[in-house]
Structure 1
Amino acid sequence: MTTAIIIVAVVVVAAIAAFLLLRGRTAGGRGLRSRFGPEYDRVVARHGGDTQAAERELDDRVKRHGHLEELPLAEEARARYAARWASAQELFVESPERSLAEADALLADLARERGFPEGEDRADALSVHHGAHVHGYRRVHAARSGNASTEEMREALMDARGLFEALLADGGSQREHGNGHLVKGHRTS
């Protein structure tokens, strides 16, 4: 009888441990999916559907860039960037290629002024803080460097506008959660 009780106890403990292990992994995945939005799916696809590898990469991004605090923008800078964006959009009718080049340069300048790193790390850092919109940054780059149709360039510019607006917003009092919602006062993880 005691052997049966010990066996049942071991099975129950093992079941509870397995449940907690799986629950913890799923919660992390949901948290990353929520934080990174469409970027989560892009990274999973890039890893051939391997969610564990994708989540390790995204966790690494959070460790490297999660501490970054966006620098505030002066009202004059905000107005200057808004005017540049309006000009880039207007230029699209005349020259979609030049319009995308200007939008790309403008996003780079704005991200730099807000405190995001230079180079290849920029997109990763943007994904940590603006996961719902970083695809616009990537699409502008892709449309500029490939043989994109006018419609693809238009869509890239429209997607980039979401990131532009998020970067232009006051980062000192609001943080954007990966699902596009703003959370006042603190960064959500």
Structure 2
Amino acid sequence: MLTIVIIAVIVIAAVVLFLVGRGRIRAGGGRGLKHRFGPEYDRAVADHDGDTKAAEQELGERVKQHGSLDEQPLSPEARAQYRAQWADVQEQFVESPQKAVTEADALLAGLARDRGFPDGEQFEEQFAALSVHHPAHVHGYRSMHTAARGQSGTEEMREAMVEARSLFEALVAEQPADPDQGSSQTPQSRDGNGHATWALNRRHAKGNNT
């Protein structure tokens, strides 16, 4: 009888230790995902109506599918061409915000593709991959994609252009970003001479009365 009791106690203790250990692993995984994705983690939780477990499952799947992706470098010529194209799009925003945002959205998709990310024809897949490697900068791309579909006003399009610039700079940079930095500070856009580049403001876009 005593032997049975001892065995039962050992089994119960083992089960408790297993459950506690699994809970710690889950908690650690959640903290790791939150550190890695930064603001994108909070947006994922919001998209799942506050369901942290569902959000972490989605983010974990993104890492599983795209974490091993190797970003491809751009040649100096390609980098210069992309910078020139982005500058042209910014100037075009003054006369035609909607057209500029649509072209900027396509430009970012093409740039991401050239860096080794999935093709922009499948936005959700490309966005998921970008969120794994550039989590601090993807929100602007999402906003721009929404604006490019004609679902935003002039002010929202202006904000999308400004926010998307950080992802553009991250992708056009010479060195790939470190995804473990999570929600790192957004780099300031600078030209070839090290000067801060022109940024859109409310006065640039026609049709904006604010």
TM class by smaller structure? 0.7 to 0.9
Deviation track 1:70-122 (CA, whole Å, cap 9, x = no partner) reads: 00011111111111111111111111111101211110110011010111311
Partner of 2:136: 132
User: CA–CA distance in 1 between the matches of 2:160 and 2:52?
Assistant: 27
Deviation at 1:16, TM superposition (A): 5.5
- Aligned 8 A contact 2:102 2:149 in 1: no
Structure 1 residue aligned with 2:178, among 155, 158, 175? 175
Aligned Cα root-mean-square deviation (Å): 2.5
Paired residue type of 1:175: D
Asked if residue 162 in structure 1 is aligned to residue 163 in structure 2, the reply is: no
User: CA–CA distance in 2 between the matches of 1:96 and 1:15?
Assistant: 60
Partner of 2:97: 96
Partner of 1:59: 60
Asked if residue 148 in structure 1 is aligned to residue 152 in structure 2, the reply is: yes
Number of equivalent positions: 179
Partner of 1:186: none
Between structures 1 and 2, the one with greater helix share: 1
Asked if residue 73 in structure 1 is aligned to residue 77 in structure 2, the reply is: no
Paired residue type of 1:138: R
User: CA–CA distance in 1 between the matches of 2:185 and 2:89?
Assistant: 26
User: CA–CA distance in 1 between the matches of 2:93 and 2:149?
Assistant: 17
What 5-or-longer segments of structure 2 have no aligned partner? 187-210
Report % sequence identity. Answer: 56
What SS is found at the alignment partner of 1:34? helix
User: CA–CA distance in 1 between the matches of 2:39 and 2:170?
Assistant: 16
Paired residue type of 1:43: A
Which protein shows a greater Rg? Answer: 2
User: CA–CA distance in 2 between the matches of 1:78 and 1:11?
Assistant: 62
TM-score (norm 2): 0.75
Match runs of 1:85-124 below 5 Å? 85-118=86-119, 119-120=122-123, 121-124=125-128
Indicate the larger mover: 74-83 or 38-47: 38-47
What SS is found at the alignment partner of 1:93? coil
What 5-or-longer segments of structure 1 have no aligned partner? 183-189
